[in-house]
Amino acid sequence: MYYNQLNIKSDKLFDYLLNLPHDNLPWIEHFGFDGFDVDLSWVDKDAGLAALHNLYPLKRLGLLRIPPNSIYDWHKDEYRLSTVNMLIKHDHSHSLFAKSRDNYYINITELSYKPYTYYLFNNQEYHSVINFSKPRYLFSLYFDKELDYTSLKELLHPILL
């Protein structure tokens, strides 16, 4: 209900994004993130991304950076129903989903990103990122047409773990 791992890894994009000169990119503000647009031609060059794009087309790719010693506050995305994410580089961070339990507690579920691995992500559940002492770099994207997580999960079934 929160996320699903894709069964096709990134074979080229991960290393490209990891080895970019992160301190010297032309970052642009994007919903509180530093954002860097990644060329859409990557949909043909990376195995995992190509499989995804062939099942449900993508329109925008990007690298998102959040600063050290920060929490990106609990939210549901304003303009995105779902996405696919891949964690590129961090030191110590936690990506969490949440649902209220009672007056005192919130149930949390962590998405523990594995390297070279894409995850279908439900942006319409409450989520947050806790980031410790180094900048955190996440690959993310927009689908060409927004689609809810449940429908997308059915559509992407052949490439979900």
Q: Which positions lie near Fe ion, rule CB under 5 A?
A: 77
Least Å from the CB of residue 86 to Fe ion: 15
Query: By C-beta, is 10 or 85 nearer to Fe ion?
Result: 85
Dist CA 73 CA 75 (whole Å)? 6
Element (H, E) at 36: strand 33-38
- The two three-digit tokens of residue 107, written as one number: 């149930």
Q: Which two tokens stand for residue 159?
A: 């490439």
| Beta carbon of residue 85, minimum distance to Fe ion (angstroms, whole number) | 9
d(CA 13, CA 43): 9
Chain residue at closest Cβ approach to Fe ion: 77
Which pairing describes strands 119-122 and 28-30: parallel, antiparallel, or unpaired? unpaired
Q: Considering the complex, what minimum distance in angstroms separates the CB of residue 80 from Fe ion?
A: 7
When the beta carbons of 73 and 154 are compared against Fe ion, the nearer one is 73
Smaller CB separation from Fe ion, 95 or 117: 95
